[in-house]
Structure 1
């Protein structure tokens, strides 16, 4: 497989998020290792600032430059850099923002399920479980997002 053969799908949201993605590992049958090619438009991000409570991620920067926000710090990234973001809480939250040119990278992750993500900036939590064969995330068995402030007591309604 060549990266140039991958068909990218674009995702945008508001003024901050604009990126294109192509799965690498799922179409080849991988179920416990995720990988995708990501291209982020200049000055934009692919995803909100988030952490994974059960999955590690590695980003291999192929082209361009940008900024990695990790926990409470920021670092520049450029082609050739490898960024490791371990599973954890808000102290491991991360986000890549493209600089003046397109930021192109491969994102690699463990695929432990369910995946629980926390978004420190917006106070949200997301749980994902079970994508269809080939990595079709639109067909997950479970996909739920809520604000932490909306939580109820474990015994509520029992």
Structure 2
């Protein structure tokens, strides 16, 4: 296989992993970026069965995402709005807070397939408005909490606040 062949994959020939969580979430998906040698660009292919979503409603503080609907139709939740989506639609989800939170839901009676393309950042913060969670992701760190569990900067530090508090 030449270098050029290692940079090309056909969606129909990918091996998808089945993921499910409870009644609401299910998909068959694969991360394509690593298969193609991508370094700074993430790409995944998701096939979502009728009545399901592949992930919770969320926003990103570091990574920008774009979706391309390959086949089927569904619903896009974006910030406080909802709209129908269909094959051929391209969706941009820039970084931000709850106003850029997004989720793709298959509310149809056929499979919904889409590509997720994103920038890859070494550190990511995600917010989940429906469940009031905040997540921090980095190499070797996956931490999810709620704002109500927030600690003060000096909490647990020996000696407590000092002359450089807040520095």
TM-score (ref. length: structure 2): 0.86
Name 2:39's counterpart in structure 1. 31
Q: 2:127 aligns with which of 115, 118, 142?
A: 118
Contact kept, 8 Å, 1:123 with 1:149, in 2: the verdict is no
The alignment status of 1:142 with 2:141, answered yes or no, reads yes
Name 1:95's counterpart in structure 2. 103
Give the distance between the partners of 1:113 and 1:70, measured in 2 at CA.
25
The alpha carbon displacement at 1:155 in A equals 1.2
Give the distance between the partners of 2:40 and 2:114, measured in 1 at CA.
20
Gaps of 5+ in 2: 1-8, 158-167
User: Structure 1 segments of 4 or more deviating over 4 A?
Assistant: none
Gaps of 5+ in 1: 131-140
Give the distance between the partners of 2:113 and 2:101, measured in 1 at CA.
20
Give the secondary structure class of the aligned counterpart of 2:18.
strand
Name 1:156's counterpart in structure 2. 155
The alignment status of 1:62 with 2:73, answered yes or no, reads no
The alpha carbon displacement at 1:27 in A equals 2.1
**Bigger CA radius of gyration:** 2
Q: How many residues align?
A: 148
Give the distance between the partners of 1:32 and 1:127, measured in 2 at CA.
19
Give the distance between the partners of 2:137 and 2:17, measured in 1 at CA.
20
